[in-house]
Every structure is written in structure tokens, then in C-alpha cells.
Amino acid sequence: MLANKVTVPVPEIKERKIVKPLLCGPGPCDLWPSVIEALSKPVLTPICDEFFSVLDELRAGIQYLFQTKSKLVLALSGSGHSGMETIITNLVAPGETLLIASRGIWDKRALNIAHRFGIKTEVTSVQMDQTFSLEQIERELKRVRPTALFVTHGDSSTGTVQRIEGLGELCHKYGTLLLVDTVVSIAGVPFLMDEWRVDGVYTSSQKALSGPAGISPVAFSARAEEKINKRSHQPPFYYDMKMLADQWNCYGNTRKYHHTLSAPLVWALRASFQELAKETLPKSWERHAKVTAHFHKRLQAEGFQFLVPKPEDRLVTVTTITLPRGYDYQQFSKYMRENYNILIFAGLGPTVGKALRVGIMGVNSTMEVANAVVDAMVATRNSLKKSSL
Ligand SMILES: *Cc1c(COP(=O)(O)O)cnc(C)c1O
């Protein structure tokens, strides 16, 4: 035995109690009870029949989620960022150009990914509390003639929602593919991939789907599929859609092993889709809209101000709120966590020091949660005023 060679000491990993806060930040969100249960289902191996029939169910769930009849749909083993990396590197070759519509932090990540992969980039921006007009996008498409346009639907760093309708037609007029981040909008805000002619889209399990992070639906249009099939460049191995399509049986019964999917995450996503199928998309959109309208009305009645000036630009799932001069955003969030066990976040990227970010989505999109958050925010504002101003 090599026992005497064991020189690194045994780590001390003690039992630990975790008090779960109410997760009302821009993600992760709390889990559906059915998802929590699904996480302990048996492990599936990547070569058994059950496994492949569950993947078929997930693909049907993803088609419903994005509203697409496209064949090239599957879920990646990774958080939302894996979707970003996949759609960019599979659809834009090194040396080709990606036009990035920039207003928050996620488009900056897209820029970073593109640069690492040798993709040329052009950026068009708006202020962080605004969204893009079709005119601005068309002007840039005409000027740049890019291979693809990247745009974020719901931006959780700024609390804005970009209108996607109309962008598909514009992009195709200039021979451009339309790539959309729907990580924090899907299931909470209407999104219609085929109808809006989106070519590459990804989301994540951990936001309005109320699942754990780590399994991320992606979908590609027929136009995008053609580009993938004709391409001569190699995307990263782990995110190669051609290989993943063979594992997920996108084109018939290929059943090829590519990597081992996490069984708990596969079961969890399946449970999120069962919840969505029970409620249906239109009802889910309606619930989110109704609860957030109530949340906003109460915030206004209590004298809170929104960062985003135009109501139609405000994202339903994540609200950005400014505080009166003298309040510290980090301290405010910390106080909410310590005194009310509610987790909300301060700003990120362009909204650092400028806003609070509150997520009311998924299982937490209820009147009770909205009321609890407003009540705690009012109490926090009063307490911090007394003690520190
Ligand atoms: C949270 C978020 C991401 C990143 O997702 P991860 O699961 O953390 O990788 C990307 N885009 C948007 C809009 C998000 O809100």
C-alpha cells in the first residue's frame, strides 16, 4: 500500500446547515418542487433506451419552449454561457464578422467569445436603459453586412427587453443570421423562434424555467443548419453541433456517444418542461405579466423609481430599480438578505452602483412573492435611512 505516500491531509468537510433564501435576483431562481424531486431520480447511462427516449421528450420540450419546428434542437451540458459559445462558434467562422447589438453585459461576453475564436466584430450600442430601433439595426446591417447579428432579448444586467419581431426579416435581407440570447426571457416573455425567423437561440434552465443551472436548450433554424453543414471550420469539440446532433438523434436514430449527460439535470429539465406543459406558454407569459404589473404598481406607490424610463422597454422577469441618493446598492441587498432572507442583487456591468436588480420569475412569479419583496424593500429603505443617512 502507498498509505505512507499520502501526505496531503484529509480535508475537513463538515455537515453544514444552509438556510435557503427566497431567490429573487436575476438568477438563479428557486426550483419547482417537482424539479427538486426529479433531481434524485436514478442515473441513466448514455447508451440505454430509456436515456434516448428521455432525450426525445426533451427535444419536444425545447421545440415547444422556443416555438420552433426545427430539427436541430437539443440541450447542452453547461450553463447559459455554453449556449452563447455554441451558437457563435458553430455559425460564425474565424475571419467572418459578427455584429453585436450592445446594451448590457451579455453582449460583452459575446464579444469576448468572438475575439477568442478569431471572429471579426462590429459593435452598435444604445444606452443601457434603452433598446434598439429597427432603423438602427438596418443601418448597421447595411454598413457591415455581417455573417450574424447577436442580440440579447431580455437583458438581466439592465432590466430591458429588446423587441425581436422584425429583426429576422431585416437580417435575412442582408444575408445575416439572427442570434438571440433568451436566457432570462424564455417562458416569462413571449418568444416565437419560427414566426420571428430567429436562426440561433439559447436559454438556460436556471431562470424562469425554475430548474438548476447546467443544462441549456439551444435551437437552430433551417438556414443555420445549412451553414453548419457547409462549414469548413471546427467549433470547440464539446460544443460541436454536428456531433451533438448525432448524440441527440436530431436526424434519425444515430445514438452516438459524445459525452455523458448529467442524469439529475436531464430529469430536472424534463420536470421543468412538465410544469410548462401543464401551464402552457401563453398562461405562463400571462402570469409573469400580471404579477410583474402588480409588483411595479406597488413599487411606484411606495415611491421607488425604475431605471428604465419607457414602460414598454422594461423586462417582465427582471426589474431594475434606482434608490435615492445616499443609499448603497450592495448594502441594501445585504440588508434584505440578512433581515428578510430575500436575495436580490445590486447592479452588474453598466448598472453597477446604479440599480437594484430584482427577479420575479418562474415558480416565484406569484402575488405573494411580489408583495413580500416590496414589503421588505420598504422596510429596508426605512431602516437604512434611520441608521446611515
Ligand atoms: C443569466 C444570464 C446569462 C448567463 O447564464 P449562466 O447560466 O449564468 O451561464 C446569459 N444571458 C442572460 C440574459 C442572463 O440573464
Instruction: Give per-residue pLDDT as tens, 314-366.
Output: 999 999 999 999 999 999 999 999 999 999 999 999 999 999 999 999 999 99
pLDDT at position 44, please?
A: 83
What pLDDT score does 387 carry?
60
- If you take atom 2 of ligand 1, which residue's CA is the nearest one? 183
301 contacts 147 by C-beta, under 8 angstroms: no
Examine the pLDDT at 215 and tell me if it is beyond 90: yes
* C-beta of residue 202 within 8 angstroms of C-beta of residue 66: no
Binned at pLDDT 50, 70 and 90, residue 45 comes out as confident
Indicate if ligand 1 lies below 6 Å from the C-beta of 333: no
Ligand 1 and 292: CB distance under 6 A: no
User: Which single residue is written with the C-alpha cell 421528450?
Assistant: 57
Choice from 29, 77, 81 to test ligand 1 binding pocket (greatest atom count within 8 A of CB): 81
pLDDT tops 70 at residue 389 = no
Closest residue to atom 9 of ligand 1, CA basis? 80
Percentage of residues in the chain with pLDDT exceeding 90? 95
Q: Is a pLDDT exceeding 90 seen at residue 46?
A: no
Cis peptide preceding 28, ω within 30 of 0: yes
**Mutation test residue for ligand 1: of 82, 183, 315, 317, the one with most atoms within 8 Å of CB:** 183
What atom of ligand 1 comes closest to residue 26's alpha carbon? 15
Per residue in 70-99, pLDDT (tens digit) is 999 999 999 999 999 999 999 999 999 999
Q: Is the CB of 206 under 6 A from ligand 1?
A: yes
The predicted pLDDT at position 235 comes to 98
pLDDT at 388 over 80: no
Ligand 1 centroid – CA 276 distance (Å): 20
Q: What average pLDDT score do residues 117-134 get?
A: 98
Q: Confirm or reject: Cβ of 81 under 6 Å from ligand 1.
A: yes
Is it the case that residue 236 has pLDDT exceeding 80? yes
53 φ, ψ to 5°?
A: -75, -30
Is 204 touching ligand 1 by the criterion CB < 6 Å?
Answer: yes
pLDDT above 90 for 129: yes
What does the mean pLDDT of the chain come to? 96
Model pLDDT, residue 1: 81
Residue environment code for 299-313, b if the CB has 16+ CB neighbours within 10 A, otherwise e: beeeebebbbeeeeb
Q: Is 152 close to ligand 1, i.e. is its CB under 6 Å away? A: yes
Name the DSSP class of 151: E
Q: What is the pTM of this model?
A: 0.97
How much is the pLDDT for 268? 98
Residue 259 has pLDDT above 60, yes or no: yes
